[in-house]
Amino acid sequence: MLHPGHPGDAAQALELEVITTTEIADSIRELTLRAVNGAALPAFTPGAHVRIQVADGQWNAYSLITLPGQEATAYRIAVRREDGGAGGSRAMHALRTGARLQVQMPRNDFALDTGTGPALLIAGGIGLTPLISMATALALTGRDFRLVMAARNRAAAAYADTLAQSFGARVAVHLDDEAGGPLPVSDLIATAAPGTHVYVCGPRPMIDATRAAWSARALPDAQFHTELFDAPQTEAGDQPFEVEVASSGQVFTVPPGKTIIEVLEAGGVDLVYDCQRGDCGICQTGVLEGTPDHRDVVLSPAEREAGKLIHICVSRAKSARLKLDL
């Protein structure tokens, strides 16, 4: 497991070079990367991502993009510039041809199922990127699928024309400004055929709305797949709380603006995690005492209600203390 920001990450990473950088939509830039030494790059499956060291030791995750007919000798990513973010996306946008990057091996927490039934791919904004590779793979196997992508406006609709040319009527583009509002995901779920696997990638409100529509139809959780393309946000009213590590009895205070992972790791607790957005499930931890404040997109409504699990990369506590099975 490569933990973001750990000193050992660079030693285990690939050294890749930027060979093209292209503005493909409003605030979105595509970069193509190849190995500096000319070696073949590790293979990856649809939905996979890599982590790239962007600035000040920070590692950001970017989905790998495969379109029909593209060569497999390079990695392609698309980066949306976040002017109010920590600076990683701005640093990526400033890269020019020849720049060298430390890139971790591909990892997939958002993989396609291996069945033969239909697939519904729902994308919000830059959340489109992992779904492009999925659509390419589904088309190659002849599997029935539909890709619905939403963007604020036409200028922000990255890859819309390319996808329409590649996949024809299987692609639908929703533009918020022209439609007068966000994509009505409940309508998509209401008309999904039995046995459909749904893949949703985008901001939290889109994922939450899609999950609610899915749950309302009482469809199987195993056929609902998500990846979150939002960084965790501090919410108004967040309060400090304590976390007790059951195995050692250590107690830590988690202040607003810090995650359980950040505080425990700073205290020397060895943890396993990946996304730090609340969507991969790697950091899922048992709750022995206390009430979690769930902010992930992994747990089902029933699991949230039970309160026995928590994703420590984003979730907090409603109670004064949580005792965790660590």
Instruction: For residue range 246-302, list pLDDT tens digits in order.
Output: 999 999 999 988 899 989 988 999 888 877 777 778 899 999 999 999 988 788 878
Q: Which has the higher per-residue pLDDT, 242 or 301?
A: 242
| Averaged pLDDT, 126-133 | 95
Half-sphere exposure of 160 (CA within 13 A, CB side): 20
* Domain contains 110: no
pLDDT at position 3 over 60 = no
* Domain contains 286: yes
Q: How many structural domains is the chain composed of?
A: 3
If asked whether residues 123 and 96 sit together in one domain, one would say no
pLDDT digits (tens, 9 = 90+) for 172-221: 999 999 999 999 999 999 999 989 999 999 988 899 899 999 999 999 98
pLDDT digits (tens, 9 = 90+) for 9-33: 444 789 999 999 999 999 999 999 9
pTM of the model: 0.78
| Averaged pLDDT, 234-247 | 85
If asked whether residues 162 and 87 sit together in one domain, one would say no
pLDDT above 90 as % of the chain: 66
148: domain CATH number?
3.40.50.80
pLDDT at position 70 over 80 = no
Instruction: Give the count of beta carbons closer than 10 Å to the beta carbon of residue 55.
Output: 15
If asked whether residues 217 and 265 sit together in one domain, one would say no
275: domain CATH number?
3.10.20.30
* Domain contains 2: no
If asked whether residues 75 and 51 sit together in one domain, one would say yes
If asked whether residues 169 and 94 sit together in one domain, one would say no
The chain-wide mean pLDDT, for the chain, equals 88
* Domain contains 111: no
Model pLDDT, residue 142: 94
pLDDT at position 233 over 70 = no
Tell me how far apart the alpha carbons of residues 183 and 175 are, in angstroms, rounded to a whole number: 8
Secondary structure string (H, E, C) spanning the chain: CCCCCCCCCHHHCEEEEEEEEEEEECCEEEEEEEECCCCCCCCCCCCCEEEEEEECCEEEEEECCCCCCCCCCCEEEEEECCCCCCCHHHHHHCCCCCCEEEECCCECCCCCCCCCCCEEEEEEHHHHHHHHHHHHHHHHHCCCEEEEEEECCHHHCCCHHHHHHHHHHHEEEEEHHHHCCCCCHHHHHHCCCCCCEEEEEECHHHHHHHHHHHHHCCCCHHHEEEEECCCCCCCCCCCCEEEEECCCCCEEEECCCCCHHHHHHHCCCCCCCCCCCCCCCCCEEEEEECCEECCCCCCCHHHHHHCCEEECCCCEECCCEEEECC
End-of-domain residue from the set 64, 79, 103: 103
End-of-domain residue from the set 167, 199, 228: 228
Domain holding 61, by residue range, is 10-103
Residue 165 near residue 135 (C-beta atoms within 8 A): no
| Averaged pLDDT, 97-106 | 94
End-of-domain residue from the set 174, 206, 228: 228
